[in-house]
């Protein structure tokens, strides 16, 4: 029973340590980088995810030792536990910023808006060293309750700041992706938003446990096992999504940056230059540009091309991506992805009307969708029902 208790309490540490090893090996293995064409940004993302997982490993080890009577009073716990607690969320924020391309370089990393969040952890580390090595036990015991209260307050404040910023970074990234690519499947940070929501639930549970205290868990050992299982699943999913998302998605932002350098500066409405005056473009000009974009997409069947990008359309229109974004997103309230997928769904509806007996997977491919999942999701969004329900209505 004692062995089982130790294994359960250390399970999150084993999971996070497993991902540390996997991520470090993935960074070191040059053959892996060559096989998947991993860029420096991919490797940096893996390093930062490994650092986040390593910090979480230390926290979970400290937790396990804290609830083990043999671990009481260990200097390692007294010095590093609170410090790691205050540093783990800024590390996760930096990792998300790396994935989104907002914190890719060292120059960006050392800006105050990123490194400033580590100041409480640094102060707490110095305070822990002073209290445990330089201050008498009697004075340290008197100060301990006040320090614990400050720790809890700092933990909550940093937690809220990091999670709010994570959501904003993900929203900006997904908005940029949707306005650059027609297919956002595998490029969106939606899986990380789901994980972030799960982490918020986990952190709320953590806050409750912090205020309940260790005595509560000494009386209810099963609660500790439940929390351990929850965190094990959460960190396994985080590592899994990090590895999967990195391999497919990190080339996106670099590709977009390279293609943006050669964009023309014209609005592509030469026959109506009176619509542009004093560098101010009228809504009528943007409406005309939108109509021309739809016309080109339909006439040349561009929307049927998998992995279509907005730059493919701007080259044919002879315009700037900024103007086209303004015409589609700002004036019409659509992203580039929504515009293209709406045309694809209209094409799919025509195919289904002509051939109700056709397989839905074939219709998805013929309509330009990257996957069946993307086809089903967009069909429901624009038609208000699933493809199968639509076919049932046709047959009846």
Query: Domain with 72 in it: what CATH number?
Result: 1.20.1070
Domain of 197 in residue numbering reads as 2-258
What local confidence, expressed as pLDDT, does residue 252 receive? 43
Q: Are 267 and 281 in contact (CB under 8 A)?
A: yes
What local confidence, expressed as pLDDT, does residue 87 receive? 93
CA distance 351 to 338: 20
What local confidence, expressed as pLDDT, does residue 20 receive? 93
What local confidence, expressed as pLDDT, does residue 256 receive? 43
Domain count, the chain: 2
CA distance 288 to 272: 9
- Nearest of 197, 196, 224 to residue 8 by alpha carbon: 224
CA distance 260 to 314: 11
What local confidence, expressed as pLDDT, does residue 253 receive? 46
Query: Domain with 370 in it: what CATH number?
Result: 1.10.10.60
Q: Give Cβ neighbours of residue 231 (< 8 Å, ≥ 6 apart).
A: 12, 60, 202
Q: Are 39 and 250 in contact (CB under 8 A)?
A: yes
Alpha-carbon Rg for the chain, nearest whole angstrom, is 27
Q: Are 382 and 347 in contact (CB under 8 A)?
A: no
Same domain, 88 and 144: yes
For the whole model, what pTM was predicted? 0.81
Same domain, 285 and 232: no
Dihedral sign from CA coordinates of 327, 330, 334, 340: positive
Same domain, 92 and 30: yes
Strand bridging mode 280-281 / 276-277 = antiparallel
Same domain, 366 and 218: no
Residue ranges of the chain with pLDDT lower than 70?
Answer: 1-7, 26-41, 66-76, 78, 210-223, 245-281
Same domain, 221 and 279: no
H or E element at residue 202: helix 190-212
3-state secondary structure of 280: strand
Same domain, 287 and 365: yes
Tokens of 150: 């400050």
| End-to-end Cα, the chain, rounded Å | 62
Same domain, 368 and 287: yes
In a domain, 265, yes or no: no
């Amino acid at each position: 029973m004692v062995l089982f208790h130790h294994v359960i309490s250390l399970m999150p540490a084993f999971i996070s340590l497993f991902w540390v090893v996997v991520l470090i090996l993935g960074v070191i293995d040059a053959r892996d980088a060559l096989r998947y064409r991993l860029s420096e940004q991919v490797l940096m993302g893996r390093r930062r995810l490994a650092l986040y997982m390593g910090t979480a490993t230390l926290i979970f080890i400290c937790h396990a030792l804290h609830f083990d009577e043999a671990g009481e009073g260990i200097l390692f716990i007294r010095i590093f536990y609170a410090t790691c607690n205050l540093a783990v969320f800024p590390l996760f924020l930096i990792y998300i910023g790396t994935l989104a391309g907002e914190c890719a370089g060292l120059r960006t990393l050392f800006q105050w808006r990123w490194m400033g969040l580590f100041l409480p952890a640094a102060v707490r580390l110095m305070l822990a060293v002073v209290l445990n090595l330089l201050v008498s036990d009697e004075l340290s015991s008197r100060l301990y309750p006040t320090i614990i209260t400050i720790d809890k307050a700092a933990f909550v404040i940093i937690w809220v700041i990091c999670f709010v910023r994570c959501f904003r970074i993900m929203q900006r990234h997904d908005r940029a992706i949707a306005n650059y690519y027609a297919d956002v499947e595998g490029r969106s940070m939606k899986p990380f938003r789901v994980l972030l929501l799960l982490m918020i639930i986990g952190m709320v549970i953590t806050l409750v446990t912090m205020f309940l205290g260790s005595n509560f868990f000494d009386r209810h050992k099963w609660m500790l096992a439940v929390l351990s299982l929850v965190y094990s699943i959460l960190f396994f999913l985080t590592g899994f999504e990090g590895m999967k998302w990195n391999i497919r998605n990190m080339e996106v932002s670099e590709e977009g940056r390279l293609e943006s350098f050669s964009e023309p500066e014209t609005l592509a409405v030469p026959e109506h230059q009176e619509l542009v005056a004093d560098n101010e473009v009228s809504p009528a000009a943007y409406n005309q540009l939108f109509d021309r974009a739809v016309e080109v997409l339909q006439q040349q069947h561009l929307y049927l091309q998998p992995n279509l990008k907005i730059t493919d359309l701007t080259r044919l229109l002879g315009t700037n991506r900024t103007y086209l974004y303004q015409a589609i997103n700002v004036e019409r309230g659509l992203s580039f992805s929504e515009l293209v997928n709406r045309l694809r769904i209209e094409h799919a509806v025509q195919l289904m009307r002509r051939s109700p007996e056709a397989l839905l997977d074939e219709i998805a491919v013929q309509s330009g969708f990257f996957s069946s999942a993307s086809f089903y999701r967009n069909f429901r969004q624009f038609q208000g029902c699933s493809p199968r329900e639509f076919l049932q209505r046709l047959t009846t």
